[in-house]
A and B are shown apart, each in its own frame.
Chain A
Amino acid sequence: MKLTRRQTLASLGLAAGAGLLPRLALSQDAGIFRIGALNPVTGAGGPYGTGMQKMILAAAEMVNAAGGAGGRKFEVFAEDTQTQPQAAVLAAKKLIDVNKVQAILGTWSSGVSLAVIPLTNEAGIPLFHCSGAPALSVAPANGKKLGYRFQATNDRFGRAFAEIAKKEGFKRPATMAFNNASGIGNTEGFTRAWTAMGGEVVASVVYEPAQPSYRAELQKILDAKPDVIVTGSYLADTTIILREWFQTGEEIKWIIPAWAANSELVKALGPDVVEGIISVDSISNEGSPAFAAYDAAYQKAIGKSGLGNVYAAMAWDMVIVLALAMEAAGPGADVAAINAKMREVANPDGTKVSNFAEGKAALKNGKINYEGASSILDFDEFGDVTPDFAASFIRKGEIKREYQVKL
């Protein structure tokens, strides 16, 4: 019995070791450009990670089918960050050192991206991420200008909240934030934008996650008599807060990020409680041909509408922008030369294109401007994009988008 177990263990170890050999042998092929798909398949990013990874694979396949970029074909190595910095660091090391990837795509939470970006900088390869933290824009994290953000910063989310609050004519906003970088980033961004417009925030609280009741925090906010409460919250806590607010009977409006104010929330609380809530989200570049292509791929891979996963649309764009930059840089270009072409293929003043094949053809006649599935995808000097936002209202249990907000 003991022997068998030992033998099993030993053979497992040998098998794992032997498994390395084919991969190492592959790394001598010149017509291949290796990319790492480092996504949050498990952990807090779990609802998005699978879709992101599948879209990276699908987009890479599409680029390869169109003859490859700059004479090279993509080979994708997929890893899971577990939405944890430490696991992400080891996964990134493996991608860089074992698989020899030349770009890492699709890290999701700010903690993960902040931990991975020193490694990609050291290796001199780009990191495309969808994290909100402002620190990722500037040095030291983005000192080498190799980081590109495909998601709105938390600050831009806050600004969108402020635009909506102004448009709705609110005068006395208060904020409630879940105590993490994203929650606080939203409400602080709101407060900055709102005070810059000359307004005043009457009260704000930051609350701890996973409490059975938020009555104390809520009471503190209600005492200041706000006319609207802006939150940086998640589904579980929002459900409790709204239920307790409804019991107080106070007449107040809510502006809540869409990852909390969604159909699950309506289902949990019933249409009466959530009536009139404003749900805000960054929106994909819906209606664009690029989005249609992404949506079709998403339907095929996941079997659901691509509208439900904005991060998958970002992941899709990551591959295509990279491929276009490679095509623009020409055959055999190194990573630095490819990085130098990023803005040239994505920002204005070129022929507008919406997929790789189209872009590849148009590049022969000069500059192009890729209009992505996730946003129009124009990088500023920090490598950040500015997506559009939408305000949706919950009426009679239905979430209806009423207008878009452009920053």
Chain B
Amino acid sequence: MDAYLIAIGTIAGIYLLLALGLNLQFGLTGLINFGHVGFFCVGAYTSAILSTKGVPIPLSLAAAAALAMLAAWPLGIISIRLREDYFAIVTLGFSEVVRLVVTSEGWLTNGVQGIAGIPRIFRAGGGEAQAVLMLGLTLAFCLISIVAMMRIVRSPFGRMIEAIRDNEEAVRSLGKEPARFKMQVLLLGSMLAGISGALYAHYIGYISPDQFIPFVTFQVWMAIIMGGVGRISGTIAGVLILMFFLEGSRFLRDVAPFIPEVSMASIRLGVIGLALILFTIYRPQGLMGDFTKR
């Protein structure tokens, strides 16, 4: 049981990093990023390729974060001045471009065959000790990001990006240039996605292009919408709810043994869908939603 909970915790931590980045971009700044998985993918592949070539893992992790930011930068220049819905389309396109590049450049990424045998971050000790260390590392990254987010929210920078979200024209009339702030937010969020991707690659040990489909982005969106957009507590709650439904439903059969094994999988998807609908109807602000604004 322990090892399974540790596995869930690790995956939840990886999703939490993704969700924190997206919450910074959408929840706080109002950037509709439909291409979050693109940066996740860049991070995963960077760290996987470097570490299988013998680069020490701390370096490959740093490279993953840096490269994800680097990938976001030109995208930002092109699209940050666009209105938000255009930005959404550009980012969605970007994530598909990343996936296609990774699929096609077989000399670097092994194409559709994917990269197998990605080294684990902690090699010493048995399976159990490794898993605990991995969980610890993931949660440490989450904790650092959460503390950083909380500081950002309280800082002048945080008030600025929230102002951009609420009324961009007003910000401009005060003599501030929103584009610069949006770029910084985009880079920060992408960095988190890059780290998250690197952790994912080392944790799963095998990556292929079909793991980086837009569905991953939308899972993260589901999490922050259920939890409460623009709230850090909401992001955490959202990821936990998502994991609870995805994994908890595996145990549904233990309470309802009359459901045949084969129907279980379909019921699980149904339960998640139903939960999303109920949230939208009864709690559109999300579980931890901010009721003071809008």
Contacts and interface: CB of A to CB of B under 8 A. Distances in A.
A complexed with B? yes
A208 B100 contact: yes
A19 B254 contact: yes
A18 interface: yes
Interface of A is mostly: helix
Contacts of A183: 112
Contacts of B200: 86
A383 to B, nearest CB: 17
Contact of B251 (A5, A20, A57, A179): A20
B286 to A, nearest CB: 14
B251 A19 contact: yes
Contact of A179 (B11, B112, B282): B112
A15 interface: yes
B206 A133 contact: no
Contacts of A79: 250
Nearest to B3: A97
Interface residues of A, number: 51
Contacts of A86: 11, 200, 204, 211
A222 interface: no
A115 B205 CA distance: 7
Nearest to B269: A42
Contacts of A123: 127
A115 B269 CA distance: 22
B263 to A, nearest CB: 9
A348 interface: no
Contacts of B269: 42
B4 A41 contact: no
Given A89-B7, A114-B116, A184 B268 contact: no
A89 to B, nearest CB: 6
Contacts of A270: none
Contact of A111 (B2, B103, B211): B211
B209 to A, nearest CB: 8
Contacts of A87: 246
Interface of B: 1-4, 7-8, 11, 100, 103-104, 111-114, 116-117, 127, 200, 204-206, 208, 210-211, 244, 246-248, 250-255, 261-262, 264-266, 268-269, 282
4 A-B pairs with the lowest CB-CB distances in the bound complex, closest first: A19-B254, A80-B265, A78-B261, A41-B265
Interface of A: 5, 13, 15-16, 18-20, 22-24, 37, 41-42, 49-50, 53-54, 57, 76, 78-80, 82, 84-87, 89-91, 93-94, 96-98, 111, 114-115, 118, 122-123, 133, 135, 140-141, 179-181, 183-184, 208
Given A53-B261, A57-B261, A111-B206, 8 more contacts: A16-B248, A19-B253, A84-B211, A98-B1, A111-B210, A123-B127, A181-B208, A183-B112
